Amino acid sequence: MTERIAIVAVRDEDLVDRAACGDVDAFETLVVARFNRAFRTASAILGSEADAYDVVQEAFVATWRHLPKLRDRTKFDAWLNKMIVNRCRDALRHRRRSREVALDDALNLPSEDASDAAAGMAALTSAFERLSVDHRHLLVTHHLHRVSVADLARELDIPEGTTKWRLHAARAALARALEADR
């Protein structure tokens, strides 16, 4: 006789509820599903994989600690993302020297002249480092992770129009920073 194993799809809200009640396995499932995106976001904002790893680890520890206080369990992802961005902000505040930000995936620089491309990347990296964490977060989430404006608005819990305006402001800030380097 063969046994059948039933695969049950567990909703994220159920996992969050179980994790909030102390279920370590449920929390581990949430972490595994979200780690790569969290790491890419922190890495793009901080420009350092080592710092990003530390920030993501701190964010997940804080999430575990404070999860029982989360009122609306359907907003877990937005809440976790806010934890990560806040820890990135703290890391940047305490950083003594700037580091190069890896934005290769977000750029479409012309490859005709390698020295021009390298100069363009250096200028973009320098300009990106001068942006606020909020502007970095918006640009990374929308352009690097390819999150739609509607999804970003839901994640931030703000209207789509406000999200579009903030993205416009972030792009304008990046353009001003690039112009200041010329």
CATH code at position 21: 1.10.1740.10
Please give the residue range of the domain that contains residue 53: 1-98
State the total domains in the chain: 2
Average pLDDT over every residue of 4-21? 73
Same domain, yes or no: 2 and 92: yes
pLDDT tens digits, 37-58: 999 999 999 888 989 999 999 9
pLDDT tens digits, 103-130: 444 444 444 555 666 677 777 888 888 8
- What's residue 126's pLDDT? 82
Unique residue bearing structure tokens 């390698």: 114
List the Cα angle 111/113/118 in 5-degree steps. Answer: 80
As a three-state string, the secondary structure of the chain is: CCCCCCCCCCCHHHHHHHHHCCCHHHHHHHHHHHHHHHHHHHHHHHCCHHHHHHHHHHHHHHHHHHHHHCCCHHHHHHHHHHHHHHHHHHHHHHCCCCCCCCCHHHCCCCCCCHHHHHHHHHHHHHHHHCCCHHHHHHHHHHHHCCCCHHHHHHHHCCCHHHHHHHHHHHHHHHHHHHHHHC
Average pLDDT over every residue of 136-162? 88
**Residue 90's pLDDT band (boundaries 50, 70, 90)?**
confident
Same domain, yes or no: 85 and 49: yes
Residue 79 or residue 118, greater confidence: 79
Is 23 a domain residue? yes
Domain termination residue (choose one: 59, 75, 98): 98
Is 106 a domain residue? no
Continuous segment of H or E residues that includes residue 150: helix 149-156
Same domain, yes or no: 47 and 120: no
% of the chain residues with pLDDT over 70: 81
Query: Are the CB atoms for 135 and 173 separated by under 8 Å?
Result: yes
Is 32 a domain residue? yes
- What's residue 97's pLDDT? 41
- Across the chain, mean pLDDT equals 82
- What's residue 101's pLDDT? 40
Residue 117 or residue 177, greater confidence: 177
CATH for 177: 1.10.10.10
Model pTM score: 0.61
Q: Which of 1-10, 25-34, 50-59, 145-154 has the lowest mean pLDDT?
A: 1-10
- What's residue 59's pLDDT? 94
Average pLDDT over every residue of 81-103? 71
Residues present in the chain in total: 182
Same domain, yes or no: 94 and 8: yes
